[in-house]
Chain A
Amino acid sequence: EVQLVESGGGLIQSGGSLRLSCAASGFTISSNYMSWVRQAPGKGLEWVSVIYSDSDTYYADSVKGRFTISRDKSKNTVYLQMNSLRAEDTAMYYCARVSRNSDGFTTFAFDMWGQGTVVTVSS
């Protein structure tokens, strides 16, 4: 079955660190761009970060310098290391695969989503 399963969320104090995991099955993460998207309670979706198949990484300004996206090919898992957490980082965090078209080129769109993991930062 092709799916993404996130884990690692929880309650953490402001200033603390947390590492989220996104285990993929049914496809190879290193052949795709993989992203993290978050949603604060009652708010809209916010793009957080992406790791390209060539390992280049990019971040939203709101998390740059604090969050790091990475992957482990042997475990087919993507990670989001979150440091210096703030109350405004409280959100549901979704892992998402960036799709490719029939020619193999990225569409910069998300075609598969996990169910998410909740991060709560207490101040």
Chain B
Amino acid sequence: QTVVTQEPSFSVSPGGTVTLTCGLNSGSVSTAYYPSWYQQTPGQAPRTLIYSTNTRSSGVPDRFSGSIVGNKAALTITGAQADDESDYYCVLYMGSGISLFGGGTKLTVL
């Protein structure tokens, strides 16, 4: 069974830089998986940050960036702010119509 892996939690200092990753329990993530990233705060619908590995969604500040790092997709937040404290989810397209979410990363800014 394919599992999309994310760090369960991460912390960053205000103004700092953090890189969250999105991997597979078996195999490497590439652009062919069309990685995308979403931010969600409690009680709210998700907000789209990044699609197609590294394209920012409309209105997303450029301190959010996406890439492939090693064998994983990555979301980097540069100059972290207090309101970046959220849950972050990645999605990979697995082919044959199927998409999979990662388990999410709870980011703390302190």
Interface residues of A (CB under 8 A from B): 35, 37, 44-47, 50, 52, 56-58, 60, 94, 99, 101, 107-116
Measured CA separation A47–B97 after assembly (Å) = 11
Interface residues of B (CB under 8 A from A): 34, 36, 38, 40, 45-48, 51-52, 55, 57, 87, 89, 91, 93, 96-104
Measured CA separation A114–B47 after assembly (Å) = 10
Q: Is the CB of A116 within 8 A of B48?
A: no
Q: Which 7 A-B pairs have the closest CB atoms?
A: A58-B97, A109-B51, A109-B36, A108-B93, A108-B34, A44-B104, A113-B45
Contact partner of B91 (CB less than 8 A), chosen from A47, A94, A115, is: A47
Taking CB atoms, residues of chain A closer than 8 Å to B97 are 50, 52, 56-58
Main secondary structure of the interface of A (DSSP, over half): strand
Whole-angstrom distance between the Cβ of A69 and the nearest chain B Cβ: 11
Taking CB atoms, residues of chain B closer than 8 Å to A99 are 48, 51
Main secondary structure of the interface of B (DSSP, over half): strand
Contact partner of B46 (CB less than 8 A), chosen from A52, A101, A110, is: A110
Contact partner of A101 (CB less than 8 A), chosen from B52, B87, B93, B99, is: B52
Q: Is the CB of A44 within 8 A of B89?
A: yes
Given A45-B104, A113-B46, A60 contacting B51 (CB threshold 8 A): no
Given A45-B38, A99-B51, A101-B52, A108 contacting B46 (CB threshold 8 A): no
Given A108-B34, A110-B91, A116 contacting B101 (CB threshold 8 A): no
Measured CA separation A99–B55 after assembly (Å) = 12
Q: Is the CB of A45 within 8 A of B89?
A: yes
Measured CA separation A94–B47 after assembly (Å) = 12
Q: Is the CB of B100 within 8 A of A47?
A: yes
Taking CB atoms, residues of chain A closer than 8 Å to B46 are 37, 45, 94, 110, 113
Taking CB atoms, residues of chain A closer than 8 Å to B103 are 44
Taking CB atoms, residues of chain B closer than 8 Å to A101 are 52, 55
Contact partner of A58 (CB less than 8 A), chosen from B36, B51, B98, is: B98
Taking CB atoms, residues of chain B closer than 8 Å to A107 are 34, 36, 51-52, 55
